């Protein structure tokens, strides 16, 4: 039975769902870092929110961990690179709290525009400073969104309902998507100069860190309102305080800070500044949603291999999995064939897809092929870690697709450069079974036997008899035998499935046959 550790406060819904799916759930919020390291190797999955820091040393100690689930969007508290290298899938729930966070953004915009928190404090103190709190309308104003993913697009929709003009800076949004959302796509400088309100909706990474720098904040128009319900670290907090004190910024509202919990911050007590304690997703509905979603996603992966909302692995839906699985298996075996015969190392990989397989999500298939190749070099590699390891080692990867295939409905070819030669086995799924259909440019149809003897030899009479004699005298039984040749008495290949691993001296004897150019035992 798979075991999952829940190390942060999650709704009881998550525990109930894990148990209903046959997964043991250990609910232990508030673990110290050292305690987490001490126990993590006993679990297949780890479910967290933002309180648990899943650092490289935690991942190193996680000998059996297969998946980390973040009940929420941001994964700042998880070492993605270390997890990927270890082959651990990282999942989040990008949609479970989207509406809640978007609504909090709109609430913060209104609160800042009308100075509601300060007015509340003043009124409850017995003052009646009606003329002090002169606000501004949002109607007709320009809202600039830095980032327009799921949450940003919901904010855009709500803002358009308020008759605001919405402009967006997001390098990943297409012009067609911008039109569909009813927003104008602009460059960052244009957004800074035109926006009455700027709202951040970007993840925190190397490209977005400090995107509202002192220099960029200085480009904003006088009277700007700045809202951040996304991630601390996206803006220069000191520079923002200076703009608030000078009056250049009319107001600012932040739910997130560069250091959390924010017991103290340079923005605290700044004029017209509003702070909330990272509560953008804190509604009962959102907490139920993310708890249920992360438990479902982790359960699906641990029980069926289905992958949803992964940050370091292509998603594979439950509907896709049955159709993808034979091609994933084929690609890994072809990669293994190429890798095991790459005797001079691997310096480049090329993957070719032909026919109906090109209509599928080929990313998992590509990851499987890379895994097969690298397993001939490394033991600790899987579909999660393989692409990252390939990139780390500087091995180039080229993927090509052709919509038609001349012989088969679908064909996959794995090409591996070893020394100055290419190994290029090709395969197809025939009657639901992965088979190798081409080796060294020679056609044949062969199964991937667990123990396979592969030879490349001259096509001459007597070779098969000599091979059979050597194996027979060694009491090694032949299970399958597949032959292929380009034309008579030229080059040929033999793929022989045997029932046991031939000793090294038997392989040496086969290699010594006069017409054998290559012989090797492969394991699948």
Residue 180: partners with Cβ closer than 8 Å, 6 or more residues away:
none
Q: Please report the DSSP string for 436-472 in residue order.
A: EEEETTEEEEE---SEEEEEEEE--TTHHHHHHHHHH
Point out the catalytic residue in the list 16, 184, 260, 350: 260
Residues 329, 305: contact at Cβ < 8 Å?
no
* CA gap 216, 237 in Å, rounded: 12
Residues 27, 15: contact at Cβ < 8 Å?
yes
Q: Are strands 451-458 and 142-146 parallel, antiparallel or unpaired?
A: unpaired
Torsion of CA 85, 88, 89, 94, to 10 degrees: -90
Q: Is 260 annotated as catalytic?
A: yes
With tokens 């720098």, the residue in question is: 213
Q: Helices (H) and strands (E) in the chain — how many of each?
A: 17, 23
Note the helical H segments in 89-221.
98-114, 116-124, 150-161, 175-181, 188-194, 214-217
Task: Give per-residue burial for 66-91: e unless 16+ CB within 10 Å, then b.
Answer: bbbbbbbbbbebbbbebbbbbbbbbb
Point out the catalytic residue in the list 49, 104, 201, 231: 231
With tokens 């080229």, the residue in question is: 398
Q: Which among 3, 512, 85, 35 has a CA at the least distance from the CA of 298?
A: 3
Point out the catalytic residue in the list 49, 104, 241, 278: 278
Catalytically active residues are 231, 260, 278
């Amino acid at each position: 039975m798979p075991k999952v550790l829940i190390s942060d406060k999650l709704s009881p819904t998550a525990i109930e769902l894990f148990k209903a799916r046959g997964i043991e759930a250990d609910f232990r919020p508030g673990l110290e870092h050292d305690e987490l390291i001490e126990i993590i190797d006993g679990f297949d999955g780890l479910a967290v929110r933002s309180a648990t820091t899943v650092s490289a040393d935690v991942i190193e100690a996680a000998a059996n961990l297969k998946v980390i689930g973040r009940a929420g969007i941001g994964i700042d508290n998880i070492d993605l690179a270390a997890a990927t290298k270890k082959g651990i899938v990282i999942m989040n729930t990008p949609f479970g709290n989207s509406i809640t966070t978007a609504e909090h953004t709109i609430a913060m915009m209104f609160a800042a525009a009308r100075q509601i928190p300060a007015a509340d404090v003043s009124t409850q103190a017995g003052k009646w400073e009606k003329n002090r709190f002169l606000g501004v309308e949002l109607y007709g104003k320009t809202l600039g969104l830095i980032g327009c993913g799921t949450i940003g697009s919901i904010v855009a929709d709500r803002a358009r309902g308020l008759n605001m003009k919405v402009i967006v800076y997001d390098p990943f949004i297409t012009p067609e998507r911008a039109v569909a959302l009813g927003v104008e796509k602009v460059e960052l400088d244009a957004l800074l100069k035109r926006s009455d309100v700027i709202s951040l909706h970007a993840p925190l990474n190397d490209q977005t860190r400090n995107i509202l720098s002192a220099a960029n904040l200085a480009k904003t128009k006088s009277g700007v309102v700045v809202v951040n319900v996304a991630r601390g670290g996206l803006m220069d907090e000191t520079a923002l305080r200076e703009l608030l004190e000078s009056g250049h910024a009319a107001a600012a509202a932040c739910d997130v800070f560069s250091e959390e919990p924010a017991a103290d911050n340079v923005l605290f007590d700044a004029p017209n500044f509003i702070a909330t304690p990272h509560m953008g997703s804190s509604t009962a509905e959102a907490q139920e949603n993310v708890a249920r979603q992360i438990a479902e996603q982790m359960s699906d992966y641990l029980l069926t291999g289905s992958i949803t909302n992964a940050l370091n692995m292509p998603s594979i839906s439950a509907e896709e999995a049955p159709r993808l699985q034979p091609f994933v298996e084929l690609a890994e075996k072809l990669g293994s064939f190429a890798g095991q015969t790459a005797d001079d190392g691997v310096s480049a990989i090329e993957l070719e897809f032909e026919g109906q397989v090109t209509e599928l999500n080929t990313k998992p298939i590509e990851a499987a092929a890379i895994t097969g190749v690298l397993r001939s070099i490394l033991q600790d590699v899987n579909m999660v870690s393989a692409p990252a390891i390939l990139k780390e080692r500087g091995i180039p990867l080229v993927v090509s697709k052709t919509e038609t295939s001349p012989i088969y409905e679908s064909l996959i070819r794995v090409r591996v450069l070893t020394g100055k030669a290419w190994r290029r086995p090709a395969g197809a799924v025939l009657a639901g079974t992965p088979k190798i259909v081409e080796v060294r440019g020679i056609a044949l149809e062969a199964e991937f036997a667990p123990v396979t003897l592969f030879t490349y030899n001259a096509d001459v009479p007597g070779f098969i008899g000599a091979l059979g004699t050597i194996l027979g005298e060694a009491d090694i039984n032949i299970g399958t035998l597949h032959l292929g040749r380009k034309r008579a008495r030229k080059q040929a290949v033999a793929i022989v499935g045997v029932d046991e691993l031939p000793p090294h001296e038997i392989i040496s004897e086969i290699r010594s046959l006069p017409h054998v150019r290559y012989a090797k035992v492969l394991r699948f």
